[in-house]
């Protein structure tokens, strides 16, 4: 499972298996029965279709979910927290402390606002949009991946923008002071302290708004899942 929060590295494998079995038991009675004669070729293509659909849904949601971690990682590196790398169990990579904390809090918001249930409902609807035994063209999903990836980068830069702008202003101020008094080595004695203190303060102010924007982005991607699958070319059964 590559769903945010549930696909975290800290979740035991047995827990994931039990969740998959429980979801299968709930969803299977609502899935339309295939009306084709099963053959080895159709079985292989049917399995490939289900894998493609799952990767498209889970991958795009994970892309957008990681926008907050990317933004916080950019901020961490700029304000001097990049040296303190921590493992992020949500995205299974190492980030700065701010990015790891933001990723864990975003996972809590994802579950607390029932976004995981909305995603599961959309996953259930995919069996009606792409019935079992059908074959899809993955090109449409690939185009959507590109669009979501570009939106993720844009959102990350927008969320990290205030901190990056503040750091730029501080560096310009310190550069002027260094030019006026080059013997004092102001950058290392004053610049780093100002950057860390002011940057951390700005992160403290911006983080609640970043969570709100991140929640809206993830919700928008989840709502677009059925629309994207409907635009993919589905071969008749």
- Angle of helix 97-112 relative to helix 115-129, nearest 10 degrees, comes to 70
Q: Show Cβ contacts of residue 225 under 8 Å, excluding neighbours closer than 6 positions.
A: 57, 60, 61, 119, 122, 123, 126
Q: Which pLDDT score is estimated for 193?
A: 79
**Beta strand 234-235 with 93-95: parallel, antiparallel or unpaired?**
unpaired
Mean pLDDT confidence for 52-59: 77
The answer to whether the CB of 105 falls within 8 A of the CB of 111 is: no
CA nearest to 47, candidates 114, 130, 148: 130
Dump pLDDT digits (tens) for 78-114: 887 766 666 555 556 666 777 777 877 888 888 888 8
- What string of H, E and C letters represents the secondary structure of 41-82? HHHHHHHHHHHHHHHHHHHHHHHHHHHHHHHHHHHHHHCCCC
Return the DSSP state at 8.
Answer: -
CA nearest to 72, candidates 199, 175, 181: 199
Least confident of 9-13, 89-93, 177-181: 89-93
CA nearest to 66, candidates 151, 123, 140: 151
The pTM score is 0.71
- Angle of helix 192-231 relative to helix 115-129, nearest 10 degrees, comes to 30
Dump pLDDT digits (tens) for 186-196: 556 677 778 88
- Tokens representing residue 192 in the block: 């780093």
């Amino acid at each position: 499972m590559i769903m945010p929060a549930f696909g975290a590295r800290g979740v035991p494998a047995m827990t994931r298996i039990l969740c998959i079995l429980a979801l299968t038991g709930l969803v299977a009675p609502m899935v339309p029965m295939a009306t084709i004669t099963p053959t080895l070729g159709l079985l292989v293509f049917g399995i490939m279709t289900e894998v493609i659909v799952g990767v498209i849904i889970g991958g795009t949601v994970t892309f957008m979910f990681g926008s907050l971690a990317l933004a916080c990682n950019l901020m961490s590196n700029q304000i001097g927290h990049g040296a303190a790398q921590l493992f992020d169990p949500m995205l299974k990579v190492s980030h700065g402390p701010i990015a790891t904390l933001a990723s864990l809090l975003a996972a809590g918001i994802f579950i607390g606002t029932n976004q995981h249930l909305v995603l599961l409902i959309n996953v259930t609807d995919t069996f009606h949009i792409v019935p079992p035994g059908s074959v899809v063209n993955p090109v449409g999903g690939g185009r959507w991946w590109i669009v979501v990836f570009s939106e993720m980068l844009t959102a990350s830069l927008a969320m990290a923008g205030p901190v990056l702008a503040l750091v730029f202003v501080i560096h310009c101020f310190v550069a002027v002071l260094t030019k006026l008094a080059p013997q004092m080595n102001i950058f290392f004695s004053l610049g780093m302290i100002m950057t860390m203190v002011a940057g951390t303060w700005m992160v403290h102010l911006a983080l609640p708004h970043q969570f709100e924007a991140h929640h809206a982005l993830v919700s928008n991607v989840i709502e677009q899942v059925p629309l994207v699958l409907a635009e993919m070319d589905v071969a008749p059964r």
